[in-house]
Structure 1
Amino acid sequence: MATQRPGFPVRLTPTASAATRGRMPAAPVKPVAPSTPSMASDAVRARMVQKLAAQGISDARVLRAMGAVERHRFVDSALVNQAYEDTSLPIGLGQTISKPNVVARMIELLMGAPALAGKPEGKLGRVLEIGTGCGYQAAVLNHVATEVYSIERLRGLHERARANLRPFRLATVHLILGDGMIGYAKGAPYAGIIAAAGGEAVPEAWIEQLAVGGRIVAPTHSAKGGQALVVIDKTPRGLERLVLEAVHFVPLKSGIA
């Protein structure tokens, strides 16, 4: 019997333990600031997309997705004027929203999965995002994948993403509060897995939950002591791994906080 998949938005309730009982309730999520005419204009996003293309992003599907999502809706009102600059911005709890170029680059790599070979206008199937953050990348992924499962370990950010995405009513985006290091087996297998945090290595659970023909794009620790983007393809012959450019992401951690 097929497992019923969660609707939007979904929360995984961890088993009560000494670590979770008695915890103070999370602070209320601030509502998203209303759009300002200058930030809501198509022209502002169009300029950002032009810059992304000039920086080497060439996949038309990714460029369209980046132009379709209003990034200013995912940042604090005090930072709205910087929303379309190619810079990371704080979103609370020591986390950031990645630079537009980094988001576009990683999604473009994801779109190169073997399952999409020879399908320049095709969509990815089901995607697992590790690290929802403020929900921006999940919204972009919604334009290039048929279904998105996004897992976040920090309760405050999970709630913020829910608030940010709720107005869009994205029926194919599912938000999960849980431990990203173990993935989300109920949604597997995935055509793609993309991570916004880097660990020593790609967790085995992600590889197990990846479909044959699927691809993982994630930062991992490099031999030089920093982080590098890693692409892992799961083929009928086994795993193929490619190490790319240096990057800087927050550490990959386990558990729920």
Structure 2
Amino acid sequence: MGNQVEKLTHLSYAEVPTADPNGLDPEEDCARIGVSYIFSNDDDDLEDHHETENAQNQEEKQYDKRNELECAVYYRDECVYEKSTKNVDMGTYSPENLSNKCKPGDLLEFVATGQYPHWAVYVGDFQVVHLHRAEIINNFLTDASQGRRGRVANDLYKFKALNPDVVVQNAMEQVGAKDRELSWRNSECFAAWCKFGRREFKVGGEIRIGKQPYRLKLQLSEKRSHVLEFQSLEDLIMEKRRNDQIGRAAVIQELANHLNCVEEISNEHNGD
């Protein structure tokens, strides 16, 4: 792991557009480049594609918090999302213990190694509403978790939350919606929309123009970070979730490979 980070910090980015979440020039030679692309299509069906529904519901799935990638999301100069052990309680709980810590209107995030995080809205009486397999459904928290550990995720997004009663109402009113009736690409966008009511979480909620106002800052180590740029929050969330699914070590290796490729192209160009 240490060698991978070191590998990132000794590259030249002379011909690569750089980006800083605060609009400032990068200090020293921090590994930051700005790009705008989506690596893969996020589909909540993928979360349990390789498992039978009942086989692992009764046992806890593997989760390693050390492989969770810390990151922050900026809209221009404003931080609108932050996952950091310094600012948010990143602890996770078994589904049974988590159900005792929830209040109606809470956002829940279920995590497991190698899977997309699954988000849900707690609506009371040990039940949640969530987007699962292209349908908004209402079931028990323990069933929605499918054996994954979970946490209350109210503080990850920095938007002003709606009244808890409104959050629950938003979620319950969508129960039964499916397929083309849906306005969200994944469980996180749906749950966050219920909580904050912002159109940015909906499919096509923002007009994509030439500018790229959103930045995803990946914290690779205590002093090293990498920034990606996006035209919409929806696109950024797709990439953030993909990073969560593959894990911190894989993201660092992927960036090392990508940046090595960039350096080779730059060296070839300079040699002409």
TM-score class, shorter = under 0.3
Where is the strand percentage greater, Structure 1 or Structure 2? 1
Which TM-score applies when normalising by structure 2?
Answer: 0.25
Which TM-score applies when normalising by structure 1?
Answer: 0.26
* Larger RCO, structures 1/2 (Cα 8 Å, 6+ apart): 2
* Structure of larger gyration radius: 2
